[in-house]
């Protein structure tokens, strides 16, 4: 791909048929590649993917490496990467178009508003891969496994749906374990503080983002948690 600056990426992103955007958090609505508002809540399968395959979200997806990797491995599922940074999403969205991956979409939005855009039980699974751990205690509600966000996820995650966290942060890992233990509606499925020290629990864990590669070269251990939030 030719190198593009941020403004070029934003301009191109608005024309991609696999990208949706929520431009104004104060007046949230979804805009598609025709620059027109569209109602997608509860209708992602019918209006975009044109099938009833399970929908999997990657939150704070960055450049979409995990979203793309899972979509390539599981063509029988639909995948959507969400992030607030359009210049990051551009890379994943353009790669999906080049590879003709019809089971991939991207959505630029603030994760805090996620429940506005997905209907009850519309999502089968959530992946949270190397999010900002927000280490300051005053920002703990911004952690994507905080009680605040679990409440949001319950609005659209299937009752049997899974939440997966992959992180290098021991603080976020321990915080997530504590949050699950304190929430009677949460069920722990699996957790491991060093996933590469034993056979992988799920094949998706073999996928590595650019930043995970950096973490591994620095000698950090990669942690994983899987749970339900009925």
Give a yes or no: residue 193 inside a domain: yes
Place of tokens 């639909």: 78
Distance from C-alpha of 40 to C-alpha of 189, rounded to nearest angstrom: 31
Determine what percent of the chain falls in helix, strand and coil, rounding each to the nearest 5.
35, 25, 40
- Contact indicator for 79, 56 with CB cutoff of 8 Å: yes
Task: Give me the domain span that covers residue 184.
Answer: 38-228
Per-residue pLDDT of the chain (230 residues), as tens digits, is 446 787 888 888 999 999 999 999 899 999 999 999 999 999 999 999 999 999 999 999 999 999 999 999 999 999 999 999 998 999 999 999 999 999 999 999 999 999 999 999 999 999 999 999 999 989 999 999 999 999 999 999 999 999 999 999 999 999 999 999 999 999 999 999 999 999 999 999 999 988 898 889 999 999 999 999 98
Catalytic, out of 24, 83, 132, 183: 132
Residue 33 lies in a domain: no
Q: What are phi and psi of 190, to 5 degrees?
A: -165, 145
Specify whether 132 is catalytic: yes
Vertex 201 angle, CA 71 and 135, to 5°: 85
Q: Does residue 154 sit within a domain?
A: yes
Domain membership of residue 21 (yes or no) is: no
State residue 8 phi and psi, 5-degree precision: -65, -40
Q: Which residues contact 85 (CB under 8 A, 6 or more apart)?
A: 62, 108
3 located within any domain: no
Q: How many domains does the chain have?
A: 1
201: CATH = 3.40.50.150
C-alpha 20/C-alpha 29 separation (Å) is: 10
């Amino acid at each position: 791909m030719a190198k593009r600056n941020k403004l070029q990426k934003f301009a191109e992103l608005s024309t991609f048929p696999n990208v949706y955007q929520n431009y104004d958090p104060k007046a949230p609505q979804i805009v598609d590649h025709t620059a027109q508002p569209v109602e997608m809540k509860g209708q992602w399968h019918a209006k975009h993917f044109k099938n009833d395959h399970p929908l999997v979200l990657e939150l704070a997806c960055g450049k979409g490496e995990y979203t793309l990797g899972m979509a390539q491995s599981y063509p029988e599922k639909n995948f959507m990467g969400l992030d607030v940074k359009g210049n990051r999403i551009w890379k994943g969205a353009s790669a999906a178009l080049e590879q003709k991956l019809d089971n991939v979409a991207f959505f630029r939005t603030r994760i805090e508003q996620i429940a506005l855009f997905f209907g009850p039980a519309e999502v089968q699974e959530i992946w949270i891969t190397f999010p900002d751990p927000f280490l300051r205690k005053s920002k703990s509600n911004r952690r994507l496994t905080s009680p605040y966000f679990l409440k949001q996820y319950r609005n659209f995650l299937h009752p049997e749906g899974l939440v997966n966290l992959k992180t290098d942060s021991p603080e976020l890992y321990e915080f997530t374990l504590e949050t699950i233990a304190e929430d009677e509606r949460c069920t722990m499925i699996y957790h491991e503080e060093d996933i590469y020290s034993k056979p992988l629990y799920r094949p998706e864990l073999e996928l590595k983002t650019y930043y995970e590669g950096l973490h591994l070269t620095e000698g950090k251990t990669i942690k994983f948690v899987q749970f339900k939030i009925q």
